[in-house]
Structure 1
Amino acid sequence: MLRTFFRTEAGSTSALLIATVLALVWANSPWGDTYEAFWHTPMGLSFGTAEFSLDLRHWVNDGLMTLFFFVIGLEISYEVRLGQLRDRRLIAVPAVAAFGGMLVPAGIYLLLNAGGPGAAGWGVPIATDTAFVLGVLAVVGARCPDPLRAFLLTLAIVDDVLAILIIALFYTDELSVPALLTAALLLAAIVTLRWLKIWRAPAYIVLGFALWVATLESGIHPTLVGIALGVLVFVYAPSDQKLLMAGEAVQEFTNEPSARAAREATLRVRHAVSVNERLQLRLHPWSSYVIVPVFALANAGVRLDGETLRAALTSPVSWGIVAGLLLGKFAGIALGTWLPLRLRWGVLPGNLVWGQLFGGAAVSGIGFTVALFIVDLAFADPVIRAEAKIGILAGSLLAAALGWVIFRMAWDRGGVCAPPEAEPDEELPELLSVPVGPRDHVRGRPGAPITIVQYGDFECPYCGRLHPVLTRLLRDNPDVRLVFRHFPLRSIHPRAASAAIVAEAAGDQGRFWEMHDVLYDNQRHLTDADLEHYAAQLDVEPWEDVPRHASRIALDEASGRDSGVRGTPTLFLNGVRYQGPLDEDAISRAIAALRPSPQPS
């Protein structure tokens, strides 16, 4: 589900960018006056004397965007019940990070605008644009691992929920009690249908539309309806019985193809998958490739003539939004990530390093869709609206550039995981402090003349990339052996120490290297439950002698620190620190240099 979401959202970034450019070109063309005129065209429904009408922009912002938030509600429901949000330890860190990423930008904005005409816009820099963020991460490519995408998606989901609550609570001018009571009754009717397990799409569509109209008339922004209905859609994991019945129906169709068997197989397969997932599959492309780009086309158009730009350059609204998106988001998310990790409230979803997290915090400052949405609610003055939109465009561009620079710097550090406090000023030793001995884990021919000692961490992404490289080197070079020593970076890889203990437990059974390979092949799945599963597969008791294994790991760490190891992976070739690139060709050349030159005959 996450991979599908990433692919759809990242791919839609191009459509969103094109729509934004078209809106800007249209608003700044010789026909720029037609931009606002077109989006203020009224359109509605009438039945006798009853009439319901909105202009085109409000149909987009209040109508189509409700469907957009409905898809977000579907995603929230799925992730809470079956996905990543089931694990409270994985929710805590991105949730606090999302809260920090909203609180700090709002505070920075208010520092510049409190008491002024732009004070109501404090909600503009709080929201992260998921589509643009994932699009930037797609461009970043290998510098951004899947766990970071999962972390940022979780953060974005929490961010969206908080943004909708802020819109409902702080950007509602007047409340109509009768309409609000009607909306509550309609929502209760939908909940009752769900409780009775009545799954009739027309009933939900009619009630949902009526709920949207009642909410719109109540004064509460109707996008809240989208989130609520999305969360209510039923989601479940396929049961064994449903999977079995679907398989039997497909088998029957394969044996005796017929229209009846095809219909039965189709129904059985469809019912094995929850309504939530089926709706996501159908609606995600519409949301990503139609609704959000149309929203951008309707809202991103702002005149960029000299007078408008000069006004924006001196406007506290523009500067407040730029500072909030660029600095506030970065500082708030970074602090919100560090605090729960420091207090042990939760863990990260995988092998992430601070450079990657900082890059993710920076690109989260791309606030576009919801930011433009709140501009329309916060400001009635078209001049202030224009200044706010210019601030959104400038802040988002700068946040994307900052994220790109941070990702490049993190990557160009040489492919080594190291906590920030482990950056030494002293000159590091070049020689291995503790020679290879009988207690070491050795892979390869015992008497091999060339020894590679690796200080590694099972959660380190660079160690994960190095693992297949070393495997091939050992296979192609019988005169090389590999020694693995533990160096878990506990401050940035919270599961590395537990993984090392399980590896040592496997070593007691003579299966260290089997567990070593399993752990590196499953770096994204190193929870205690995962580790126990791997141990059971190898018939290992993982927690039987933890103090002894922890002591063994501590000896490796001590030898690493004495040898100048500050990050992972760190290699020593025949006792001398290797300082070249961590790719197969470079390491092969270093190995070849250790072999004695052939004597002339």
Structure 2
Amino acid sequence: MWRCLYASLLILLLLASDGYPKGEVKNQEEIKISFKAVDMFLSRNGRYAYVLAQDGHLHIFKSGWVEVASINLGKGVLGIRQADRDDEIFVIDKDGRLKMMRLGFPKDIDTSNAPFKGNPKAKVEVVVFSDFECPYCASLSKVLDKVAERYKDKIKLIFKHCPLGYHKMALEAAQAAVAAGLQGKFWEFHDLLFENQKDLSSTKIQEIASALGLDMEKFKKDKGSPEVMSFISRDVNQAKALEVRGVPAVFINGEYLEDTKEESLIKEIEQRLEPPKSQ
């Protein structure tokens, strides 16, 4: 009993004393925003700040407090919390109800040096994360070819590698495609990999390279090079940062597209193209 009392008194004395080192605010900087903020949080990967305004709008900022989106959640929203993904949040309203919302806003995607079709300066960018051993990716590839042919120089179709670990030939196929790209034959190799998906093997990859007339010595050297592996790893890491949970994954102007059917792709592209000028 006495020991407990002594311990309690000691804790109280320590709390009341100056025994703990004192902290201080070293620097303070006001973040200049054009609205009254009532709540905020940072995304799990630290890439985005979500700020709830008094009027119920959710403002999303990227590095440097550059606003990328403003979404009206409604005036009754009192608080926001991060959910499992960067594009999912929990919302608490004035009636005490808890809701989970999926948000649509453009993400930053580094497409530098990535293979593409179409106009490099197009207003609409379609990015696909894909795996050469994935049957759904093969099916989508045909759809994307139709879309690219339909819009020609109005869009830029960009390919990003995302080989899945449980696909035995996916990584080697990706390495081969990058190596072929170094000889200007990425898309030809891309098409033949998907066409021969059911028969993919190291031998088949060599046959494809030979059929395309590649310099085989350079192809083999590039295919196993650290530079090619680093290129693929960059895409894979980016897919993780974007919280891609499966392939194929399509982004249009940075926004994730759940429905990848041809009509849905066309609808999303049309919405982003400039409306026709009135006569």
Q: Taking structure 2 as the reference length, what is the TM-score of the superposition?
A: 0.59
Q: In 2, Cα distance between the equivalents of 1:432 and 1:453? A: 11
Deviation track 1:555-588 (CA, whole Å, cap 9, x = no partner) reads: 01111111121210000101111122x2111111
Kept in 2: contact 1:485–1:556 (CA 8 A): yes
State the shift of 1:464 in Å.
Answer: 0.6
Q: CA deviation at 1:483?
A: 0.3
Aligned to 1:535: 209
Counterpart-to-counterpart distance in 1, 2:163 and 2:108: 18
Residue 426 of structure 1 aligns with which residue? 84
Amino acid at match of 2:272: L
Aligned to 2:49: none
Higher helix share: 1
Name the structure where strand makes up a greater proportion of residues. Answer: 2
Greater Cα radius of gyration, structure 1 or 2: 1
Q: CA deviation at 1:453?
A: 0.4
In the alignment, which residue of structure 2 is the partner of 1:487?
Answer: 162
* Residues in 1 aligned to 2:257 and 2:128: alpha-carbon distance in whole angstroms: 10
Match of 1:448 in 2: 122
Residue 561 of structure 1 corresponds to which residue in structure 2?
240
Q: Runs (4+) of structure 1 moved beyond 4 Å?
A: none
Q: Give the aligned partner of residue 595 of structure 1.
A: 273
Secondary structure of 2:199's partner?
Answer: coil
**Aligned-pair distance for 1:521?**
1.1
Alignment equivalent of 2:191, drawn from 503, 513, 517: 517
1:73-88, aligned counterparts within 5 Å?
none
* Alignment-mate amino acid for residue 592 of structure 1: E
Cα distance in 1, alignment partners of residues 109 and 278 from structure 2 = 36
Shift of 1:540: 4.2
After TM superposition, give the deviation of residue 447 of structure 1 in Å: 1.9
Asked if structure 2 preserves the Cα contact closer than 8 Å seen for 1:451 and 1:482, the reply is: yes
Maintained 8 Å contact 1:457/1:568: yes
CA contact (8 A) 2:133 2:170 kept: yes
Q: In the TM superposition, what is the alpha-carbon distance from 1:441 to its structure 2 partner?
A: 0.7
Structure 1 position 593, deviation (Å) = 1.0
Count of residue pairs brought into register by the alignment: 174
For residues 107 and 198 of structure 2, the distance between their equivalents in structure 1, rounded to whole angstroms, comes to 31
Contact 1:450 1:594 in 2 (8 A): yes
Which deviations, in whole Å up to 9, do the C-alpha atoms of 1:503-528 show, x marking residues without a partner?
01101101111101111111111111
Distance across 2 between alignment mates of 1:457 and 1:524: 13
Measured at CA, do residues 486 and 560 of structure 1 come closer, stay the same or move farther in structure 2, by a change above 3 Å? same
Extract unaligned runs of 5+ from structure 2: 1-82, 88-104
Aligned counterpart, 1:544 = 221
Distance 1:556 1:455, change over 3 A: same
Alignment of 1:58-69 (within 5 A): none
Supply the AA of the counterpart residue of 2:129: Y
Q: For 1:524, what is the secondary structure of its paired residue?
A: helix
Distance 1:471 1:552, change over 3 A: same
2:106/2:253 contact within 8 Å kept: no
Give the conservation status (yes or no) of the 8 Å contact 1:506–1:540. no
> Is 1:579 aligned to 2:258, yes or no?
yes
Checking the alignment, whether the CA contact within 8 Å between 1:435 and 1:575 is kept in structure 2 is no
Amino acid at match of 1:595: L
Alignment of 1:295-314 (within 5 A): none
Q: Classify the secondary structure of the residue corresponding to 1:571.
A: strand
Question: Match for residue 436 of structure 1?
Answer: 111
SS at match of 1:494: coil
